[in-house]
């Protein structure tokens, strides 16, 4: 998987080196504990897909500049901040195979560090000399929050259909992918057709990314994922495979199915849960949806001339289909 990420980054390798410096410098603080936690975060880099998408999109449309790098950096800062807050909300103690921030430094400090990162993103936002970019980033922050709140609301009410699911994942996951591509393009071109195409590509890639995560929650293992599997079911967060299964059941069978899964989850029988969801067609449906959305995303790139950069974006789709965490 790391090899594929390197292939994706090949056309922007030098730009990613500049990004690393910009990103690390953006996180510095005069407060010792913040720097300690930030170093811990940076130590386990993650995929950094969002800055890669931003820089590739920017270079596809023109010449990368200072604004492109500022935006790439603040997008990754926003992403990290949301992950820290997510782990607190979800009571998750593993992230990327390491103890999460809240596991080591507890919830109060984790929330404050997440807030600190949001403030750093705002500082970087102020450095971008583009009202349009600031509007997109403000809308992004709103969508990220709304998506998370909608997920919690639906987990509590246990009332979700496929339309609500796609609204939720579009806000909480796809919005950041879409903004990464759109903002990268905006820093290097005024061609609205290209900007819109890349924005739509990012939105669809983000949806595909979340569906893949849904499948991991059912099919993956903790050692592969770097976090516990079966977590979404435990927290009543219905994923696409389960939503599809439940949508094809009447009220009484639906209730019985939910109770059965809950009992199996409480007794730690994950293999049985996996078998049921596979046999009921939930996994196959989600996999087909994942491929269809990925193909649609690829079609959004048709207006661009063939290039290494275009191939990198296509490779990002393949990376998502093949990734194991």
Phi, psi of 29 (to 5 degrees): -140, 160
Averaged pLDDT, 74-86? 91
Q: What is the pLDDT of residue 253?
A: 82
Phi, psi of 58 (to 5 degrees): -60, -45
Tens digits of residue pLDDT in 101-160: 899 999 999 999 999 999 999 898 888 988 899 999 999 999 999 988 988 888 776 678
Q: Which residue segments constitute the domains of the chain, with CATH numbers given?
A: 2-322 (1.10.600.10)
Instruction: Return the CA Rg of the chain.
Output: 20
One DSSP character per residue, 230-286 reads: SHHHHTT---HHHHHHHHTS-HHHHHHHHHHHHHHHHTT-HHHHHHHHHHTTHHHHH
Whether 228 shows a pLDDT value over 60: the answer reads no
Please state, in angstroms and rounded to a whole number, the distance separating the CA atoms of residues 280 and 272.
12
More confident position, 6 or 225: 6
SS3 call for 304: coil
More confident position, 193 or 271: 193
- Extract the tokens encoding 223: 């050692």
From the centroid of its chain, how far is CA 210? 7
Tens digits of residue pLDDT in 4-48: 989 999 999 999 999 998 898 888 899 999 999 888 888 777 789
- Extract the tokens encoding 252: 């009484």
Whether 177 shows a pLDDT value over 60: the answer reads yes
Whether 54 shows a pLDDT value over 90: the answer reads yes
Rounded to two decimals, what is the model's pTM? Answer: 0.91
The answer to whether residues 93 and 102 touch, using CB atoms and an 8 Å cutoff, is: yes
Tens digits of residue pLDDT in 92-103: 888 777 888 899
Cβ neighbours of residue 40 closer than 8 Å, sequence gap 6 or more: 101, 104
Whether 77 shows a pLDDT value over 90: the answer reads yes
Q: What is the pLDDT of residue 303?
A: 96
Please state, in angstroms and rounded to a whole number, the distance separating the CA atoms of residues 37 and 12.
29
């Amino acid at each position: 998987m790391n090899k594929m990420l390197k292939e994706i980054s090949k056309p922007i390798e030098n730009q990613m080196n500049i990004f690393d410096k910009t990103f690390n410098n953006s996180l510095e603080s005069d407060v010792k504990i913040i720097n300690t936690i930030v170093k811990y975060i940076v130590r386990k880099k993650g995929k950094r897909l969002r800055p890669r998408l931003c820089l590739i999109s920017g270079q596809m449309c023109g010449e990368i500049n200072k604004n492109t790098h500022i935006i790439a950096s603040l997008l990754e800062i926003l992403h990290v901040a949301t992950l820290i807050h997510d782990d607190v909300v979800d009571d998750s103690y593993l992230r990327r195979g390491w103890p999460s921030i809240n596991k080591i430094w507890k919830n109060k400090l984790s929330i404050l560090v997440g807030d600190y990162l949001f403030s750093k993103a705002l500082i970087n936002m102020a450095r971008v000399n583009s009202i349009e970019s600031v509007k997109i980033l403000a809308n992004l922050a709103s969508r990220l929050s709304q998506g998370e709140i909608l997920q919690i609301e639906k987990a509590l009410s246990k009332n979700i259909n496929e339309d609500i699911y796609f609204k939720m994942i579009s806000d909480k996951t796809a919005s950041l992918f879409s903004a990464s591509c759109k903002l990268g393009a905006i820093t290097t071109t005024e061609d609205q057709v290209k900007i819109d195409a890349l924005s739509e590509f990012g939105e669809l890639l983000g949806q595909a990314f979340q569906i893949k995560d849904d499948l991991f929650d059912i099919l993956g293992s903790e050692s592969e994922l770097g976090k516990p599997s079966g977590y979404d079911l435990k927290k009543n967060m219905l994923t696409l495979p389960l939503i599809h299964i439940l949508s094809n059941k009447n009220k009484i069978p639906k209730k019985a199915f939910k109770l059965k899964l809950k009992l199996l989850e409480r007794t730690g029988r994950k293999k049985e849960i996996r078998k049921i969801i596979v046999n009921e067609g939930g996994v196959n449906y989600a996999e087909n949806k994942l491929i269809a959305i990925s193909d649609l995303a690829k079609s959004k790139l048709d207006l661009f001339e063939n290039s290494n950069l275009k191939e990198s974006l296509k490779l990002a789709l393949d990376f998502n289909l093949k990734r194991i965490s």
